[in-house]
Amino acid sequence: MFVDKATITVAAGKGGNGAVAFHREKYIAAGGPDGGDGGRGGSIVLVADDNMSTLMDFRYKRKYVAPNGADGQGGLKKGKDGADLVIRVPRGTLVRDKETGGILQDISGSEPWVLAKGGNGGWGNKHFATPTRQAPRFAKPGLPGQRREVTLELKLLADVGLAGFPNVGKSTLLSVVSKAHPKIANYHFTTLYPNLGVVYAGEGSSFVMADIPGIIEGASEGAGLGHDFLRHIERCRLIIHVVDASGSEGRDPIADFEAINEELARYNADLASRPQIVAANKCDIITDPAGFERFKAYIAEKGYPLYEISAATHQGVTELVQAAAAKLAELPPIQVFEPDYVAPEPTLGTAEDLTIRHEDGVWFVEGDWLERLLGSVNFGDAESRMYFDRALRTSGLFERMEEMGVAEGDTVCLYELEFEYKK
């Protein structure tokens, strides 16, 4: 079964907790704190796999969870990092945020991409030792990993797309010019999913051709199979528009040509301006030469190159392939979609939503919205730091801490951020 869209939920691993431990060894007095840090949680990583052609693997398994990091131990032993969970997807898969629909990444290259980052491990009590606090009895917990719900959408990577009404000979043409073996029969919608084939146009010259299931009027609005598979023509650099020049089914080639282009434009306005070559198929069984001449004149007026072919008898096929290869040499490479996802502004809460505790002279402040806020702030930028300070003051955090007895000079710890409190 060809599956080209799937929704999955991923959760990266939680970081391990830091350890509270003290060095105890014979003949060594006051060994001091030696709690190790927790390990980093495993991340969710996506990798393109050329051996996959559909998203079938994601039809039944929809949740992926990476391992957590191990807790730290005494003797300054750092916890083991959680292993990254590698998910393989077909090359050409778009990753979209489920809620907004924004593109997170286009998995068209060979570089692995981190979809969800594992949480950092917590610090052991060794980090909190100071000249005045020589035996801290606390450590930091590990941070949770990122969670995402995403939609995977496969857009085939093909140089040339075959477009046209059902039963005009697209599958036959693909089988003739490549080693692909699509199902071929004399009825509409024989092709139920896209087929790919590598076309060799000469020494050192080849390209990938995609046979898109037949498009009909209303396809852009969901009619027929075109709505499901029009996305696979978006990356194609060149469209070969296959038309039944014989009118064997009583159809008008000019009306068919206009209808298909209208559907392409409705689905994606950019497709209307995509370079096209017209392949007038079934020229060996033309019964209305005058009608065919009108079609040729119409195509010439539109400015499209036209090749008279018969996929069944191989007539004109070589010339069509050579023309497609020559045109592709002039065109830019296959489109790679740029990420357009904009992370939502962190939703800020109030100080009442935060947990504040005082241990060994250190104030620990934790909470969901504070964690999200910290992840969105660039502390190397002055304006970003000012925004962070305003957000904390607006939440009422400082007032609540002063009510609880925080004093100037006390150490305040906000997850991995530690500073000295000043009024």
Q: What is the pLDDT of residues 138-180, one digit of tens each?
A: 788 888 899 999 999 998 888 998 988 888 888 889 989 888 7
Tokens linked to 111: 């570089």
Tokens linked to 82: 């959680």
End-to-end CA distance of the chain: 65
pLDDT above 70 coverage of the chain, percent: 92
pLDDT-based confidence at 4, cuts 50/70/90?
Answer: confident
Residues of the chain with CATH 3.30.300.350: 345-423
Coil vs helix vs strand at 152: strand
Q: Provide the CATH topology of domain 345-423.
A: GMP Synthetase; Chain A, domain 3 (3.30.300)
CB neighbour list of residue 103: distance below 8 Å, 6 or more residues apart? 94, 95, 96, 337, 338, 339, 340, 341
Is residue 324 within 8 Å of 316, Cβ to Cβ?
Answer: no
Mean pLDDT on 379-383: 76
pLDDT at 15 over 60: yes
Residues of the chain with CATH 2.70.210.12: 1-154
- pLDDT at position 329: 92
Residues 115, 8: Cα–Cα separation, whole Å: 12
Q: What are phi and psi of 16, to 5 degrees?
A: -70, 155
Q: What is the amino acid identity at position 309?
A: I
Q: What is the pLDDT of residues 229-274, one digit of tens each?
A: 778 888 899 999 999 888 777 778 898 899 888 888 888 888 878 8
- pLDDT at position 391: 87
The CATH class for the domain spanning 160-328 reads alpha beta
- pLDDT at position 298: 93
- pLDDT at position 346: 62
Of 93-107, 185-199, 338-352, where does the model show the most confidence?
93-107
Instruction: Return the CATH number of the domain spanning residue range 1-154.
Output: 2.70.210.12
Mean pLDDT on 357-376: 82
- At which residue do the structure tokens 């994606």 appear? 268
pTM: 0.76
CA 43 distance to own-chain centroid? 15
Mean pLDDT on 328-353: 83
Of 5-14, 52-61, 202-211, 358-367, where does the model show the most confidence?
5-14
List strand residue ranges (DSSP E) for 306-416, in order: 306-308, 355-359, 362-366, 411-414
Higher pLDDT: 287 or 217? It is 287
Tokens linked to 239: 């469209």
pLDDT-based confidence at 186, cuts 50/70/90?
Answer: low
Residues of the chain with CATH 3.40.50.300: 160-328
pLDDT-based confidence at 222, cuts 50/70/90?
Answer: low
> DSSP letter string over 53-117?
-SSGGGTT--EEEPPPPPPPBTTTBPPPPPPPEEEEEETTEEEEETTT--EEEEETSSS-EEEEP
